[in-house]
A = this chain, B = another copy of it.
């Protein structure tokens, strides 16, 4: 048992391994990515790991500083804001472009997922709800014919995943509205509403979640021990 043809390079494996741990949350924001450590864990040398980290850097999942090292990015609360805003635009467009290509089967699946979300509202589990939320939206934008846009949407979701906020943990009230808006969105798509209408609705849907979050964090008295300056609006 030797020489199994490995279809993916070690660099690739390092990339997916690190990315997975970041997205799944075992590498939390701020986590220090030490090259030798990771290389050791994966049983490879540092060179492939370096390449992997360069890619992750270009994607914005990790922050890199010369002669210091890489850390999982996403601590900054303004980062969340920027990411959500960007995603509202990109995902809105992706959903609109995708809409004409969504068949009734996909609609039914989306509706089923949204049903689960509705059930989930009872004994509320923010993490599960967020996961379902991603499933739901994936169904809607995954048919987007423009691969660039689709890629940007995925990157946006990954970024959000690193922030691990589960958003809805902070604004549980928003969850209920969210489910309703999902239904409305599905109806729009089903009725072949104009791309413009769908785009606006999808963007608005996400923007509303962001607004709810912002309203929430600006009210409570407990300031975060890190940096809490900036962003007045």
**Chain A residues packing against B (C-beta within 8 Å):** 8-9, 11-12, 47, 50-52, 54-55, 57-60, 66, 82-83, 85-86, 89-90, 93, 96-97, 145-149, 152, 193-197, 225-226, 230-233
Minimum C-beta distance from A76 to chain B (A): 11
CB-CB under 8 A from A55, the residues of chain B are: 54-55, 57-58
Majority-rule SS of A interface residues: helix
- List 27 A-B residue pairs with CB atoms under 8 Å apart, sorted by A's residue number: A9-B66, A11-B54, A47-B50, A50-B51, A51-B54, A54-B54, A54-B58, A55-B55, A55-B57, A55-B58, A57-B58, A58-B58, A60-B148, A82-B148, A83-B148, A86-B146, A86-B149, A89-B93, A96-B230, A97-B226, A145-B226, A146-B226, A194-B231, A194-B232, A194-B233, A196-B232, A197-B233
- State A233–B99 Cα separation when bound (angstroms): 14
Query: Are A195 and B149 interface neighbours, CB within 8 A?
Result: no
Additional 19 contacts, C-beta under 8 A, given A86-B149, A196-B232: A8-B66, A9-B66, A55-B57, A58-B58, A58-B59, A82-B146, A82-B147, A83-B148, A86-B146, A86-B152, A89-B90, A89-B93, A90-B90, A96-B230, A145-B226, A152-B152, A194-B231, A195-B230, A196-B231
- State A230–B98 Cα separation when bound (angstroms): 13
- State A126–B83 Cα separation when bound (angstroms): 36
- State A101–B145 Cα separation when bound (angstroms): 34
- State A182–B172 Cα separation when bound (angstroms): 45
